[in-house]
Amino acid sequence: MKWSYLTRWIFDKPLKSGTSLNIYEVKKCLGLGAYGIIYLCTDNRSGKKYVVKQLRPSKGKKQRERERFKDEAELLRKIDYPAIPALVDEFKINNQHYYVMEYVDGDNIEDLLFFHNQKFTEIEALQIMKQLLSILSYLHQHNIFHTDIRPPNVIVKQEKVHLIDFGLAVVEDNEKAVRNYRQDDYYDCGQMILFLMYSQFKGKKSKKRTWLEELSLHPETVILLKKMLGIAEPYINVNEIEKDLNNALEALKEPKSI
């Protein structure tokens, strides 16, 4: 057993259901990340549901990790966007660090694909991208870069997309670094949308064939994904992506010629 896993097993056991955290009661553990443990909790006063993130106890022993966790909470405090859960509270109990966020009662894309076996059409995948781009536009305007756009971090609730988990987010204003982080977010977004499109793929995936050969996508979608994934000249900003995305959506809505 690797030392890192042994450390987690000994020190980072999730809190049990019913545990009290100030005014919040733990209902269940939603997941364990590299730095945090996520719980679904209820406010004992109102009964309202919240998400509480705990810094892993093993990480909390290091000053650098405690500061990183605090910086993550401070970043969430500054973000004001409907599709990103807001920071609600922050506290410490017995030297354990926690913060509280709004709860989005939906399914993340990973669960939709693997647990609910949901299939996404090309146009549905692009519509999700459109919402993600609006979120990225807001973040990038404030020099915030998520850097971890993946299926588990994108929640869909009543066809509305929400972006969560800012544990790896970066705030940067250096021009060269901004360009790189911006491209990273575009690439991650493109990869995830491509992942959605593979939900319709019925053949046997081959290591020798690329998505360009395996998926039957509209040429406008291919142009879009090539640029987002850096196969063709990459995009400079969200406005450029949205222009090509709208072209692809319009093309997909047009009736096919007989």
Q: Is the pLDDT of residue 258 over 50?
A: no
Query: 111: number of CA atoms within 13 Å, CB side?
Result: 11
The answer to whether residues 36 and 113 belong to one domain is: no
pLDDT for the residue numbered 32:
87
Q: Quick check: is 258 in a domain?
A: no
- Amino acid symbol at 195: F
Calpha distance 230→48 (Å, rounded): 43
Q: Is the pLDDT of residue 88 over 90?
A: yes
| DSSP letters spanning 203-225 | S---TTS-HHHH----HHHHHHH
The answer to whether residues 54 and 142 belong to one domain is: no
Q: What percent of the chain has pLDDT over 90?
A: 86
Q: Report the pLDDT averaged over residues 21-35.
A: 93
How would residue 35 be classed by pLDDT, with cut points 50, 70 and 90? Answer: confident
| CATH code of 148's domain | 1.10.510.10
Residue 148 a catalytic site member: yes
Contact 165, 33 (CB under 8 A): yes
Which residue has better confidence, 207 or 244? Answer: 244
The answer to whether residues 71 and 157 belong to one domain is: no
Q: Is the pLDDT of residue 225 over 70?
A: yes
Query: Residue 16 gets which letter from DSSP?
Result: P
The answer to whether residues 58 and 133 belong to one domain is: no
Question: What is the span of the domain harbouring residue 70?
Answer: 8-102
Tens digits of residue pLDDT in 100-148: 999 999 999 999 999 999 999 999 999 999 999 999 999 999 999 999 9
Q: Report the pLDDT averaged over residues 69-98.
A: 96
pLDDT for the residue numbered 1:
45
pTM as predicted: 0.91
Q: Report the pLDDT averaged over residues 29-44.
A: 93
pLDDT for the residue numbered 10:
64
Calpha distance 225→80 (Å, rounded): 29
pLDDT for the residue numbered 8:
60
pLDDT for the residue numbered 203:
77
The answer to whether residues 88 and 114 belong to one domain is: no
pLDDT for the residue numbered 43:
98
Instruction: Please measure the distance between the N-terminal and C-terminal CA atoms of the chain and give it in whole angstroms.
Output: 61
The answer to whether residues 201 and 186 belong to one domain is: yes
Q: Is the pLDDT of residue 199 over 90?
A: yes
State the catalytic residue, choosing from 148, 185, 188, 244: 148
Local structure of 64: helix, strand or coil: helix
In the numeric block, which tokens belong to residue 4?
A: 């890192």
The answer to whether residues 228 and 144 belong to one domain is: yes
Residue with tokens 């993130």: 53
Residue 257: how many other CB atoms lie within 10 Å: 4
The answer to whether residues 171 and 63 belong to one domain is: no
How would residue 207 be classed by pLDDT, with cut points 50, 70 and 90? Answer: confident
pLDDT for the residue numbered 9:
56
Strand order in the sheet with 20-21: 20-21, 24-32, 36-43, 49-55, 96-102, 87-93
Local structure of 76: helix, strand or coil: helix
Local structure of 248: helix, strand or coil: helix
pLDDT for the residue numbered 257:
45
| CATH code of 86's domain | 3.30.200.20
pLDDT for the residue numbered 164:
96
Calculate the average pLDDT of the chain.
93
Residue 216 CA to its chain's centroid (Å): 27
Q: Is the pLDDT of residue 4 over 70?
A: no
pLDDT for the residue numbered 252:
94
Q: Which residues of 37-64 are buried (b: 16+ CB within 10 A; e: fewer)?
A: bbbbbbbeeeeeebbbbbbbbbbbeeee
The DSSP H or E segment spanning 84 is: none
Number of domains into which the chain is organized? 2
